[in-house]
Structure 1
Amino acid sequence: MNKIKLDRILVKNNRVDYYFSLNGKIQKYFNEKNNMFLEYNYDLSDIPESILAIPFVSNVIPLVWLTDTTLTVDQLDKSFFYCLTKVKQAYQRMFNKFEFKGDIKVNKIVNNQYVPEREAASLFSGGLDALTTFIRIKDKKPLLITEYGWHEDNIKYSEVWEADKKHVISFAEGHGLENILIQSNYGTFIKAKEVDADFSRKLGDTWWHGLHHSLAIISSAIPIAFKIKVKCLYIASSNSPAYPVACASDPTVDNEIRFGTGEVYHDGYELSRQDKVKVVTDYYSSNKEVINIRVCFKNEDNCCKCEKCLRTIFGILAEGQNPRDFGFEVPGDFSEYVKVALNNEVKFFTDTFIRMYWKVIQNRMRENSNYIKYSDILNWFLNYDFEGQRRKSLLKYRVTNFFPILKRKFSIRLRKILS
């Protein structure tokens, strides 16, 4: 039988380490050290163990349900413990072809009620979604929470994290707000590739996207939200009901999460991504404020050539604005650059992305054509055939990279045979 036991929570100043033991086949999904950690720019020593346990439970509970495992912890917050049933039900509805099992056993359930002293905290990356939520709740003077969860055994210098910190600290200072900064290994202490190998086909989604990331991100903020007595923790939406997709970050999941007296709100779900582009560009252009939208979360700056960068660039263009005014340093001839970049990247576009994002941008640019800053882009983009261009690009890619692709497939097959 699969078992996970949280053996010890060790707090030292602003860092908390979780040490756990494993029994059964579930051991294959974890790195050898059986340790998860979180480090904050706040002291943690006065936070109850029942609250500190929430991030660990949140990170492993989807795996518990996938693998029919029993998770044992000594103490857990009452509000959070009882919300888990609803979170599990939400996952079950989302992935209705797979039965979620497993259970959690808690020796002591603790009632951690408090009188809220701060109205809002917001998970803040500086990206389009987060900026939209900030604009919508800025009058609440939210605490801005930024996280980096990709450390491994310990914290190591990351240029990406340093760039993120610089950006969000500058943003907060400019608005008279306070930053909460969190570093962790929550993205690496579970072997996502191993989980995906066993479950992604059955679920139709990956571990990180479908089950893990939202609970990891939200729960890491909970100890500080509790310490500062926050009423509501906001997380910006990534999707919209116009194009429903299975995703760990969904209002049916996030809005069920509770801790102490605090709650979580999944903000902006009613808005499409293009709606959000309009919210952000309208706000900053009308206020004459300079803003850099952070899109490349694994790069120091926006690369201006990946799908997400290009999607945002074209979205800004469709609203009649100049992407260079929003942190996209596109070199050379703008129209020619984005056309070459799009033709190069389109081979990686999924049908869902084309439908959810790119066709919407095309339609918006068509209806807003009189206001487009780079009118020469209209000559080719309005009738750009995404599916046709994807086929051409894929064929060219496969012909050009035939032998490297063959070698990679052979290596993957060989590893599977040997394992």
Structure 2
Amino acid sequence: MKNRIILDSPLIEGNRITYSYHAEGEWQKVFRPEQPFFVEYSADISEIPESIAVIPFLCNTLPISWVWNAEIQVPSCDWDFYHCIEAVKQGYKDMYPSVRFAGTFTAYNIIKNENPRNKGAAAFFSGGVDAFHTLVEHLEEKPVLLTVWGADIKFEDETGWQKVFHHLEKTAEEFQLDYVTIKSSFRLFLNDDELNKKVVESGDGWWHGFQHGIGIIGHAAPITCLMGKSTVYFASSFTSKEKGIITCASDPTIDNHLRFCQVKVVHDGYEFDRQDKVHNITSFSGKTGIAIPLRVCWQSDGGENCCECEKCWRTILEITAEGADAKEYGFPYTKKQLRKFPKIYYDKRNIPPYRRDSVYKRAQDTMRQKIEVTVLPKELQWFYKMDIKKLGYHPIYQFLAGCKRKIKTIININK
């Protein structure tokens, strides 16, 4: 049986869109019919047309249809979105030349939706370095902040979401901006295990390598079309210097082609590396006196920075390198946590070579240029002084690796 999915007319009620669909063929196993796909906004979107309402669903199923050579059928589709699909697909093809992208898309009505206002911006906001950098760089545009519940905070983590929400609320108040929250089951209605197996030859996983860029961005279509915005900013995760080294679903060759209802999408900040972004954020905070509490941790429950994981400490180093106090940016680390710090960085499982060279070397170089080693807490001075090439290579790991090689040699000799 041919792989096909038929989407019924989305049910649009007040602030919620619910999607009903029927999947046929082998690819049925990538969907979880027991988990409905819905999107809820903190604003009424009942006036949006069906041709716009289908976009969150399409943004999360089109990449699947391409790798499974499947057909998607929808009752109607926005003209701008329909005509951007091939360019978006080409971005995936260029990123993953070893993967075959096929599939077809059928919309029975293609509708040119007008956007009479077509001005102003919206920006996805998670509270991390990338998101805050986009905010401060485009603050004069007064972007509406969009935060999604269901991307990194699970529905059952009510405490975590409340902290994320209060962080958003406080940021919007501080910067005098409007905001919209979006609750979506876009990660739950899919079977990640099956999707990961399907794209294993790409060298990346489904969420990071194929879904999270376009899958998140699609949620902006109903609300930004309703508000008459002209631009949606989606902060870059990586930089142009990492092109060809790292693959990621969010990339300018994909994001910048997305269009809906005369709204363009901008993959923002790609020309800045992470240290540049931290510099711009700390400079902005220093000049304006506005506190910027970053939220970067993906390891802890509860929506706060754990100050224990690699990403937290990576950010602490970058802030410290700029001569700023990381505790003032949402990282209340303790001396006990400082003492654990070296163990994280000597473990090669935490520090792949590309990150050591592109991230930690930049942080160390910046640190050496801008501050004296004596300014640092004693527990951080080792990073300032060390040979950066040794990151990820603790003597104990080298010793264990040597023992493993000797054991293999003994086994081979005795064969």
Q: TM-score, normalised by structure 2?
A: 0.89
Q: What is aligned with 2:233? A: 234
Report the more deviating stretch, 283-292 or 168-177.
Answer: 283-292
Q: 2:314 aligns with which of 305, 311, 319?
A: 311
Aligned 8 A contact 1:121 1:230 in 2: yes
Distance 1:195 1:223, change over 3 A: same
1:92-135 deviation per Cα after TM superposition (whole angstroms, max 9, x unaligned): 01111222100101100010021235411110111111111111
- The 1:397/1:187 distance shift into structure 2, 3 A limit, reads farther
> Contact 1:66–1:101 at 8 Å: present in 2 too?
yes
Match of 1:161 in 2: 161
Name the counterpart of 1:258.
259
CA contact (8 A) 1:62 1:211 kept: yes
Alignment partner, residue 303 of structure 2: 300
Secondary structure of residue in 1 paired with 2:114 = coil
User: Distance between the aligned counterparts of 2:180 and 2:252, measured in 1?
Assistant: 23
Which residue of the partner structure matches residue 369 of structure 2?
367
CA contact (8 A) 2:338 2:380 kept: no
Q: Does 1:268 pair with 2:269?
A: yes
SS in 2 for 1:347: coil
| Distance in 2 of aligned mates of 1:385 and 1:193 | 39
User: Residue 406 of structure 1 corresponds to which residue in structure 2?
Assistant: none
Label 1:155 to 1:330 Cα distance change in 2 as closer, same or farther (>3 A). closer
CA deviation after TM superposition for structure 1 residue 361, in Å: 1.2
1:169-208 matches, within 5 Å, as: 169-200=169-200, 202-208=201-207
Structure 2 segments unaligned to the other structure (5+ residues) = 402-415
Q: Tell me what 1:221 maps to.
A: 220
Distance 2:199 2:351 in 1: 23
Pairs within 5 Å for 1:32-43:
32-33=33-34, 35-43=36-44
Superposed counterparts of 1:316-335, under 5 Å: 316-332=319-335
User: How far did 1:187 drift?
Assistant: 1.4
Q: Which residue of 1 aligns with 2:67?
A: 66
Whole-Å Cα distance in 2 between the matches of residues 119 and 129 of structure 1? 20
Please say which of residues 216-225 and 29-38 is displaced more in the overlay.
Answer: 29-38
Aligned residues with identical type, % of pairs: 33
Residue 89 of structure 1 and its aligned partner are, at CA, apart by 0.6
Q: Which sections of structure 1, spanning at least 5 residues, go unmatched?
A: 400-419
Aligned to 1:402: none
- One-letter amino acid of the counterpart of residue 203, structure 1: S
Between 286-295 and 321-330, report the one with greater CA deviation: 286-295
SS in 2 for 1:390: coil
The one-letter amino acid of 1:327's match is G
Matches of 2:262 and 2:374, distance apart in 1: 48
Equivalent-residue separation in structure 2 for 1:13 and 1:397 (angstroms) = 62
Partners of 1:96 and 1:199 lie apart in 2 by 12
Amino acid at match of 1:189: F
CA contact (8 A) 2:99 2:199 kept: no
One-letter identity of the residue aligned with 1:242: K
Which deviations, in whole Å up to 9, do the C-alpha atoms of 1:157-179 show, x marking residues without a partner?
62221111010011101221111
Once residues 168 and 346 of structure 1 are traced to their aligned partners in structure 2, the CA distance between those partners, rounded to angstroms, is 35
Letter of the 1:176 counterpart? Q
AA in 2 matched with 1:188: L
Once the two structures are TM-superposed, the CA of residue 373 in structure 1 deviates from its matched residue by 4.0
2:386 corresponds to: 384
1:355 corresponding residue in structure 2: 357
User: Cα deviation per residue 1:14-54 (whole Å; 9 max; x = unaligned)?
Assistant: 11111111111101111133631101101121000000000
User: Shift of the alpha carbon at 1:148?
Assistant: 1.4
Secondary structure (helix, strand or coil) at the match of 1:99 reads coil
- If the length of structure 1 is used for normalisation, what is the TM-score? 0.88
Residue 382 of structure 1 aligns to a residue whose secondary structure is helix
Instruction: Indicate the SS of the match to 2:193.
Output: helix
Count of residue pairs brought into register by the alignment? 397
- Which whole-Å deviations, capped at 9, do the CAs of 1:311-336 have from their partners, x for residues lacking one? 10000111111101111001126753
Match of 2:241, as an amino acid? A
* Structure 1 counterpart SS, 2:230: strand
**Which runs of structure 2 are paired with 1:11-50 in the superposition (5 Å)?**
11-33=12-34, 35-50=36-51
